[in-house]
Amino acid sequence: MHIAVVGGGVVGMTTAYELNRRGHQVTVLERHSMAGNETSKANAAQRSYGVVYPWADPAIVFKAIPWILKQDGPLKLRFPPSVETLKFMFATLRYAWSPGLFGLNRRAMLRLGIHSRERFLALEKELDLSFDGDHQGLLHLASTPEALEGYRTTHELLNELGIPSRLLTPEQVRDAEPGMVGNGPLYGALSYDTDGTGDCHKFSQELAKACQAKGIVVRYNVEAEKLIADDQRVSAISVRNSDGVMEALEVDAVVISAGCWSNHLVQPLGLELPIYPVKGYSLTVPMKDPERGPASTIHDDNYKVVSTRLGNRLRATGFVELADFNRDIPEARLATIRKSVESRFPGCADLDAAETWSGFRPMTPDGPAIIGRGPRDNLYLNTGHGTFGWTLSAGSADVIAQVIEGEEPAISLDAFRPGRFQE
């Protein structure tokens, strides 16, 4: 069966790999000149299988306004907010206030995280990929006694689901991270012992090469303009080539993995995907003193900034900003990220010389990704992973391939069903 995957980010490339592994002929359509060059390019670099949680968190709702108003607050809102931003915010509130939904969605995402870790380990065993990948865990720091107390509930949930974690004292944190000698407040941490790291951009490109070696066609600099379909099936994709010429690519099935740009393809077929581009920022810089840098991934709850070790480089990422598709990088955002790193790992890198980035996480208003069959018999979706695309990509690729094959998915996909926003 010839299957087209629209989108060559980490979700699209892992999907293509899983479909090829099952014997399908696969064509990937990517609008950029290389794989993983949009949301996958310079994200937080953490594969945080035990950290995943829904966007519509009732505990965060009451913190939102103080965070927006605080200069170093992790949530930012562009004023005046657009109609699309307001729609997304109100939808988020509705899901956050739906009794019991957050807990159900969180468990579903954690189960997908467990499966994704298993698939990543298998994939890395199958392929020799160079992407500064590791699985040395993640530390979620507690800057207040209240934060540490809150981690106890998370620790109990992780234990219930069989995800290894530990509550650490400040001394144990510094033993695990000897380079963390800064003066940032520290009351302990929750250690996610089996979480991982890796350069998602490098991984996507390495996987694209491996896919091409296996016969997968990866077409760059092309735009999927429209799905050509009747009431039952998609027969072709209208594709605009780099020279502007249009063609109809005939397909037996289609998987949409186009992140924030997924909705325009399925909306004409009657499915609305309320995916919003939640903006984030990052710094990437070679470490001038690796001994003073993080050993793995550190989530600084004081600034809500994540610092990750990528070989001899440091990646520091922060903020969730509701600003539509605005790509500006305000100096104030970068200053907060630098402040966080210096408060934990002073002198590890020349942060003023870092490569800067901003990108858009494809967020659904409730939080879980969109995984499953679409509004036509041969149309499938694997998109809308928000801040956890890198983390969940291997698992979601495997389960959407199982759906296409008519197999029972490895996990329940009820929380991820594509039509839930119209129910």
Residues 314/287, Cβ–Cβ less than 8 Å: yes
78 is written with which tokens?
A: 């562009």
Residue 10 lies in a domain: no
**What is the widest separation between alpha-carbon atoms in the chain?**
63
Q: In this prediction, what percent of the chain has a pLDDT beyond 70?
A: 100
The answer on pLDDT for 321 being more than 90 is yes
- Continuous H helices in 128-262: 145-160, 170-176, 200-213
Q: In this prediction, what percent of the chain has a pLDDT beyond 90?
A: 96
Structural domains in the chain (count)? 1
Q: Output the domain CATH number for residue 168.
A: 3.30.9.10
Tell me how far apart the alpha carbons of residues 192 and 303 are, in angstroms, rounded to a whole number.
Answer: 19
The predicted pLDDT at position 283 comes to 97
Domain with 311 in it: 55-81+133-195+276-363
The Cα-based distances of 331 to 92, 281, 334, 336 in angstroms read: 28, 11, 5, 9
Tell me how far apart the alpha carbons of residues 191 and 212 are, in angstroms, rounded to a whole number.
Answer: 38
Tell me: the pLDDT tens digits for 164-201? Answer: 999 999 999 999 999 999 999 999 999 999 999 999 99
- CA nearest to 158, candidates 236, 281, 49: 49
Burial of residue 346 (CB within 10 Å: 0-12, 13-18, 19+) is: middle
The answer on pLDDT for 69 being more than 90 is no
Tell me: the pLDDT tens digits for 247-298? Answer: 999 999 999 999 999 999 999 999 999 999 999 999 999 999 999 999 999 9
User: Tokens 């899983």 appear where?
Assistant: 18
Residue 324 lies in a domain: yes
Residue 148 lies in a domain: yes
The one-letter amino acid at 398: D
The predicted pLDDT at position 340 comes to 97
